[in-house]
């Protein structure tokens, strides 16, 4: 239920007529709506609670959407969405058919730029500011970037150029001293050294970039923020405002446990206590990775792991607890993580570099130039491969097969279950001569007793999971489990390709010689993926078989539960069965 003041706010224009007491009451209303909604629907709680006052002050002080406001990352944007005409549909946030969990240009004129990944806001806002200057516009541009995001190389690159311009840009550093996990790095310590001591334009770090610095300002004081923004609006050129906020502000449990409440499960809206559901009999793939790696590190002192700000998300907390000197969180710096891995491998260490599939995209040149070109055996542990659900298009890991398989020296392994994941992690620390990517999905596996004795994977051959006569289905990764259910009772064959580079050409030759129709199925994009690789090989051998390629279509997939998304694109068991039945009907006439 929307409270009295908030119910009359349908756009930022409405809040500009409120006094300071009413603005503070509005902040309470917004927090209540966020907490009440996310207690049931889930989402990014802590970051959005921490910027409620900042959001109000920005929309109060600036003429949005004429003045351009960019959030970095979009975890912070829930209050912004509520104030910009979406409060009545906020309960649909991240749900199928509802509003996006991140700023999205096509969703609202107030969403000046899409920001699902971090560290892009300064570059985008600077580009807008320079463009408006050239076009003769005098509007303001504000980039709100977290203290963890601003430590990324891209943010430094943008500030380096910004200091040489007279663009009308305000960089607001929202310093809450934490990303998803606690902040890391020397720059974090530098920001932490600054207390709430009022305006200071002689900051040595930002002065090196020729950027006037103002701060540190209390990010939970609307009146102080309003006064500061009014002052900064009158100053031409680029400015940096450093504010201090508390992630999870207003919900005691979220303030006390900021890691857990970054994006918690369902919780009690009054107490904040997590609602404990019955524990799954199965284990998340990320935990299979994290626990197995810790187990391997116990007996192999050369094993280290590197991640760009994803300790808990990649379950490296298990290894960090036991071997803290062998886990390296480099902050939100994916390119650096990749080349750091290459450097360590060149000195004989066994490096497992763990990051989400869509974040790996940000290190593409380093994968090619620093790892693959030199054939350094870095082990890429790619979490969140495939469709990830409610985070939507910015986070779906559907492109990794396509963009990795074209790189020389690169191997790609896609386990179908927890045992294959566990055993490939074990095998690679015994002997690995080339870079290899291991991709696995978000969520739970399907094997209860996965912690079995290690079995080295010595063959790169495909496995035949089912024998039939009419059609051969070939697949890679965990989608094999959907296929197994879909083809129960059907007279078709099913082959699982764990290694898709190098591909098992012998098995494809045998399949092509036996079956006139082949269906390839994957949870990656149909353009350039596993099916494309099979098609290219078959074309090179002049095979005339019918090849049906099924996977993620050539479009950006929206947000919603994985189950709904799979159903929408036909990768659920019913959709796969329908595809097989259609081909069987065609064969049998």
For residues 347-352, average pLDDT: 98
Whether the per-residue pLDDT at 188 is higher than 90: the answer is no
31 is a catalytic site residue: no
End-to-end CA distance of the chain: 58
Structure tokens at 130: 């320079």
How is domain 6-262 classified at the CATH fold level? Rossmann fold (3.40.50)
Q: Which residues contact 227 (CB under 8 A, 6 or more apart)?
A: none
* pLDDT for 479: 97
For 493-534, how does the pLDDT look when each residue is reduced to its tens digit (9 = 90+)?
999 999 999 999 999 999 999 999 999 999 999 999 999 999
Query: Residue 132: pLDDT above 60?
Result: yes
Question: Considering the chain, what is the average pLDDT of its residues?
Answer: 94
Q: Which of 247, 249, 384, 439 does the annotation list as catalytic?
A: 247
User: What is the third-level CATH fold of 285-439?
Assistant: Rossmann fold (3.40.50)
Of 68, 81, 362, 442, the active-site residue reads 362
CB neighbourhood size of 563 (10 A): 12
% of residues, the chain, pLDDT over 90? 86
pLDDT tens-digit readout, 431-457: 899 999 999 999 999 999 999 999 999
Q: How far apart are CA 240 and CA 260, in angstroms?
A: 30
Q: How confident is the model at residue 181 (pLDDT cuts 50, 70, 90)?
A: confident
Residue 454 near residue 428 (C-beta atoms within 8 A): no
Over residues 118-139, mean pLDDT? 95
- Burial grade of 19 (CB within 10 A; 0-12, 13-18, 19 or more): exposed
Q: Calculate the alpha carbon distances from 140 to 85, 134, 201, 307, 369 in Å.
A: 21, 14, 20, 36, 39
Query: Residue 224: its pLDDT value, please?
Result: 96
395 vs 393: CA distance, rounded Å:
5
Q: Which residues contact 219 (CB under 8 A, 6 or more apart)?
A: 50, 51, 53, 54, 174, 175, 225, 243, 244, 245
Q: Which residues contact 488 (CB under 8 A, 6 or more apart)?
A: none
Task: Choose the weakest-confidence range: 123-132, 158-167, 192-201, 344-353.
Answer: 192-201
In the annotation, is 281 catalytic?
Answer: no
Query: Is 247 marked active-site?
Result: yes
Tell whether the model's pLDDT for residue 45 goes beyond 60.
Answer: yes
**Domain covering 465-588, topology:** Rossmann fold (3.40.50)
In this predicted structure, what is the pLDDT of residue 589? 66
53, 295, 334, 522: which one is catalytic? 334
All structural domains of the chain with their residue ranges: 6-262, 285-439, 465-588
Q: Is the pLDDT of residue 199 over 60?
A: no
Structure confidence at residue 1 as a pLDDT band (50, 70, 90): very low
pLDDT tens-digit map of 60-118: 999 999 999 999 988 899 999 999 999 999 999 999 999 999 999 999 999 999 998 99
What pTM was estimated for this model as a whole? 0.93
Q: Is the pLDDT assigned to residue 202 strictly greater than 80?
A: no
Do the domains 6-262 and 465-588 sit in the same CATH topology, yes or no?
A: yes
Mean pLDDT for the stretch of residues 213-233: 95
């Amino acid at each position: 239920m929307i409270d009295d003041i908030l119910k009359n706010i349908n756009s930022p224009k409405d809040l500009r007529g409120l006094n300071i007491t009413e603005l503070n009451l509005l902040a309470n209303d917004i927090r209540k709506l966020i907490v009440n909604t996310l207690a049931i629907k889930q989402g990014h709680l802590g970051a959005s609670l921490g910027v409620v006052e900042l959001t109000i002050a920005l929309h109060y002080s600036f003429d949005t959407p004429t003045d351009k406001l960019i959030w970095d990352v979009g975890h912070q944007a829930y209050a912004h969405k509520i104030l910009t005409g979406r409060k009545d549909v906020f309960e649909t946030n991240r749900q199928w058919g509802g509003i996006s969990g991140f700023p999205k240009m096509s969703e609202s004129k107030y969403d000046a730029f899409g920001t699902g990944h971090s560290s892009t806001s300064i570059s985008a806002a600077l580009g807008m500011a320079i463009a408006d200057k050239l076009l003769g516009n005098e509007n303001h541009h504000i980039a709100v970037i977290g203290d963890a995001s601003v430590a990324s190389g891209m943010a430094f690159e943008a500030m380096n150029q910004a200091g040489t311009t007279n663009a009308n840009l305000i960089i607001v550093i929202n310093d809450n001293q934490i990303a998803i996990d606690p902040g890391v790095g020397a720059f974090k310590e530098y920001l932490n050294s600054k207390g709430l001591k009022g305006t200071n334009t002689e900051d040595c770090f930002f002065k090196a970039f020729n950027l006037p610095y103002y701060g540190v300002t209390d990010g939970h004081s609307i009146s102080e923020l309003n006064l500061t923004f009014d002052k900064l609006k009158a100053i031409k050129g680029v400015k940096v405002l450093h504010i201090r906020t508390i992630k999870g502000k207003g919900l005691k449990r979220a303030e006390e446990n900021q890691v857990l409440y970054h994006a918690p499960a369902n919780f009690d809206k009054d107490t904040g206590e997590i609602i404990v559901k019955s524990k799954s009999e199965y284990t998340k793939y990320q935990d299979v990775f994290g626990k197995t790696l810790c187990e391997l590190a116990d007996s192999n002192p050369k094993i280290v792991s590197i991640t760009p700000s994803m300790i808990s998300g990649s379950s490296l907390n298990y290894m960090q607890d036991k071997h803290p000197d062998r886990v390296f969180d480099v902050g939100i710096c994916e390119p650096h993580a990749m080349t750091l891995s290459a450097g360590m491998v060149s000195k004989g260490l066994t490096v497992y570099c763990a990051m989400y599939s869509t974040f790996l995209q940000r290190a593409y040149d380093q994968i090619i130039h620093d790892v693959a070109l030199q054939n350094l055996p870095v082990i890429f542990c790619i979490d969140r491969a495939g469709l990830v659900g409610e985070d939507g298009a910015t986070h779906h890991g559907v492109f990794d097969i396509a963009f990795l398989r074209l790189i020389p020296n690169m191997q790609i392994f896609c386990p179908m279950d927890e045992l294959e994941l566990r055993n490939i992690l074990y095998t690679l620390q015994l002997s690995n001569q080339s870079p290899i990517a291991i991709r696995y999905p978000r969520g739970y596996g399907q094997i209860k007793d996965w912690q079995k004795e290690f079995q080295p994977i010595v063959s790169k051959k495909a496995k035949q999971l089912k024998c039939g006569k009419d059609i051969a289905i070939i697949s890679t990764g965990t989608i094999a489990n959907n296929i197994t259910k879909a083809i129960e009772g059907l007279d078709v064959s099913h082959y699982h390709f764990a290694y898709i580079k190098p591909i098992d050409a012998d098995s494809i030759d045998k399949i092509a010689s036996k079956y006139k129709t082949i269906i390839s199925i994957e949870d990656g994009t149909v353009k350039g993926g596993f099916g494309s690789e099979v098609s290219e090989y078959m074309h090179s051998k002049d095979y005339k078989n019918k090849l049906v390629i099924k996977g993620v279509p050539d479009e950006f997939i929206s947000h919603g539960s994985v189950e709904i998304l799979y159903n929408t694109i036909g990768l659920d068991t019913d959709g796969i069965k329908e595809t097989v039945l259609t081909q069987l009907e065609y064969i049998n006439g």
